[in-house]
Chains A and B, each alone.
Chain A
Amino acid sequence: MIEAVGLTKRYGRAAAVEDLSFVVPSGQVTGFLGPNGAGKSTTMRLILGLDAPTAGRVTVNGRPYAAYRRPLFEVGALLEAKAAHGGRSAFNHLLCLALSNGISRARVADVLELVGLDGVAGKRVGGFSLGMSQRLGIAAALLGDPQVLILDEPVNGLDPEGVLWIRTLVKSLAADGRTVLLSSHLMSEVAITADRLIIIGRGRLIADTSVAELLRTGSGNFVRVRSPQRDQLTERLRAMGASVTGQPDDSLHVSGASADVVGEIAREHGLILQELSEHHASLEQRYLELTGDAVDYHAPTHLVSSGNWT
């Protein structure tokens, strides 16, 4: 379990992370989402004790990361991919890290095989592609067979095969009951594997929720209903506080009432229903809705979409 309380990191006046509190529960995959520059990487460096917080604290399994004498057995981390001396072979890079925590050579060979780099173990890291470097970073994270894994944008810059490999790996890690904190700026990457979502924007917490909960609470959710007694149904629904909008195809979009409620009301008043369905905004839409105000640099959409500025 990773627990952050009031975590704050300021660089001069600019705050990279501001009063961030969250819990990454054990045995689950938690997606850590936010637009570029939201403070995801800073937060991860704070978790690993690489950066010191301006205020607040963060613990891993109840203790600050820096308190662990052999942290590789507790937490494996992939930060940026190119965090290795280019002149060292893949095997030696991992061996040097392994030795510092008393991990054996045999384990180094094992993790190299696990990430599919055993064929290039003796090659110098400087010549590795981004995908290979990413695999090497993951091999380093797995050295101590830790229960907690922190992966910062693991699919960034990978080819489709690499993306698929990471997804499969995260799923298998999760199936082992490990705790995974997986950051991305893309909802689509995280939604596939994550149980929970922590969404931040401009260094602040926007949402700490489950995937299902996030979908349920979106403003883009509505119930679609068709009835020959359209006006009567509209009246009844509005009377109980739902908002109803008529659509060009003669259907109604109802928000503020679930499909169950709409069905009940129709039966109560003897109204015929020809269609009744719930529509959820996609995770992507919900994510954009939540982070829209927190994006540092975005195109002025009204200009792009209006098209009458010629």
Chain B
Amino acid sequence: MAEVLRSEFCKFRSVRSTFWTLSTAVLFNVALAGLAAIFIPRNLSGHEQSTTDPIRLSLAGVHLSQIAFGVLGTLIVTSEYGTGMIRATFAAVPHRRLVLAGKAIVFATTALIVGIASCFAAYATFEAFLSGDRLRSSIGDPGVVRAITGGGLYLVVLGLLGLGLGTILRSSTGAIATLFALLFVPSILLTLMPQAWRTTIGPFVPMQAGSQIFVATHHEPDNLGAWTGLGVFSLYAAAALTLGFVLINHRDT
């Protein structure tokens, strides 16, 4: 396993897309936090200010950086199928599940570090760019560290969902399209559905469930709790990965 991990890390670090997607993600997280700190507070009414979760606002960049993490997680598998590299890989390591596990571990470890670090950087930037006391919070406030760390965890799980879908579908375009359809389409559809659906199914759709982890205050009662939500979100990723692990041994390359 150590050899496979070394090999997978070598693949991960030796293509430019890794560097670019991760840099873009960090940039989104930090830049949007700064912009949010500068422009949002002055336009809020007193009521809005009291119902706004400043932590969630400081992590506004996650809405964009999740695209980068999702693409990166997917490409780790699909770029090998797209280029034919997968044959060389499986010829070198016939134990295919080991390869997939290696990819998942390498991605998850890197994404965890970059994701959490960039969310803390986003929060620090947000605080630094706030003028006055509006929406100010402290890292010591209840739920703040959990929410910021949670932003990183959310990005890791989302990338693993992409990695699972990539293994199932083996095509970059197909897997990325499916990933983002899974994330964005349910929320859009739900707005067209009766209210009852929104409160029963709504909390369980992937993005709705997963994003509860970075809500620090003003938790909406209809939604799942922070960890329950992340748990449900992880189940989607686990299901995709499990199917990937099953299929990878039974398919020709």
Where the two chains meet, the residues of A that have a C-beta atom closer than 8 Å to any C-beta of B are: 45, 48-52, 65-69, 71-72, 77, 79-80, 82-89, 92-93, 95-97, 99-102, 140
* Cβ proximity bits B232-253 to A, threshold 8 Å, 1 near / 0 not: 0000000000000000001011
26 example contacts (A-B, Cβ-Cβ < 8 A) are as follows A48-B87, A49-B91, A50-B87, A50-B91, A50-B253, A52-B250, A52-B252, A79-B87, A79-B91, A80-B87, A83-B83, A83-B85, A83-B88, A84-B84, A84-B88, A85-B11, A85-B79, A85-B85, A87-B15, A88-B11, A88-B15, A97-B88, A97-B92, A100-B3, A100-B92, A101-B93
| Min CB gap B77→A, angstroms | 12
Contacts of B92 in A (CB 8 A): 71-72, 97, 100-101
A50-B91, A96-B14 provided; 4 other pairs, C-beta below 8 A? A50-B252, A72-B92, A80-B87, A87-B17
Instruction: Flag whether B90 is at the interface (Cβ < 8 A).
Output: yes
Closest 3 A/B residue pairs (Cβ): A100-B7, A83-B84, A92-B14
Where the two chains meet, the residues of B that have a C-beta atom closer than 8 Å to any C-beta of A are: 3-4, 6-8, 10-11, 14-17, 79-80, 83-85, 87-95, 250, 252-253
- The answer to whether A49 touches B94, judged by C-beta atoms less than 8 angstroms apart, is yes
A82 CB contact (under 8 Å) in B80, B84, B250: B84
- The answer to whether B16 touches A87, judged by C-beta atoms less than 8 angstroms apart, is yes
| Min CB gap A126→B, angstroms | 9
Contacts of A88 in B (CB 8 A): 11, 14-15
Give the CA-CA distance A82 to B73 in the complex, in Å. 23
| Min CB gap A78→B, angstroms | 10
- The answer to whether B6 touches A99, judged by C-beta atoms less than 8 angstroms apart, is yes
Give the CA-CA distance A134 to B241 in the complex, in Å. 34
Residue of A nearest to B85 (CB): A85
Give the CA-CA distance A93 to B85 in the complex, in Å. 9
Contacts of B6 in A (CB 8 A): 99-100
| Min CB gap B129→A, angstroms | 36
The winner among A48, A67, A80, A97 for most chain B CB atoms within 10 A is A97
A85 CB contact (under 8 Å) in B80, B95, B250, B253: B80
B252 CB contact (under 8 Å) in A45, A83, A95, A140: A45
- The answer to whether A92 touches B252, judged by C-beta atoms less than 8 angstroms apart, is no
Contacts of A66 in B (CB 8 A): 94-95
Contacts of A102 in B (CB 8 A): 3
- The answer to whether B79 touches A101, judged by C-beta atoms less than 8 angstroms apart, is no
Give the CA-CA distance A99 to B3 in the complex, in Å. 6
Give the CA-CA distance A267 to B17 in the complex, in Å. 82
Contacts of B87 in A (CB 8 A): 45, 48, 50, 79-80, 83
Give the CA-CA distance A67 to B92 in the complex, in Å. 12
- The answer to whether B10 touches A99, judged by C-beta atoms less than 8 angstroms apart, is yes
Contacts of B94 in A (CB 8 A): 49, 65-68, 71
Residue of A nearest to B11 (CB): A96
- The answer to whether B85 touches A95, judged by C-beta atoms less than 8 angstroms apart, is no
Contacts of A45 in B (CB 8 A): 87, 252-253
The winner among B17, B79, B91, B95 for most chain A CB atoms within 10 A is B91
Residue of B nearest to A95 (CB): B10
Residue of A nearest to B6 (CB): A99
Residue of B nearest to A137 (CB): B88
Contacts of B79 in A (CB 8 A): 85
Give the CA-CA distance A140 to B79 in the complex, in Å. 19
- The answer to whether A84 touches B85, judged by C-beta atoms less than 8 angstroms apart, is yes
- The answer to whether B90 touches A96, judged by C-beta atoms less than 8 angstroms apart, is no
Contacts of B14 in A (CB 8 A): 88-89, 92-93, 95-96
- The answer to whether A51 touches B252, judged by C-beta atoms less than 8 angstroms apart, is yes
- The answer to whether A100 touches B83, judged by C-beta atoms less than 8 angstroms apart, is no
| Min CB gap A130→B, angstroms | 14
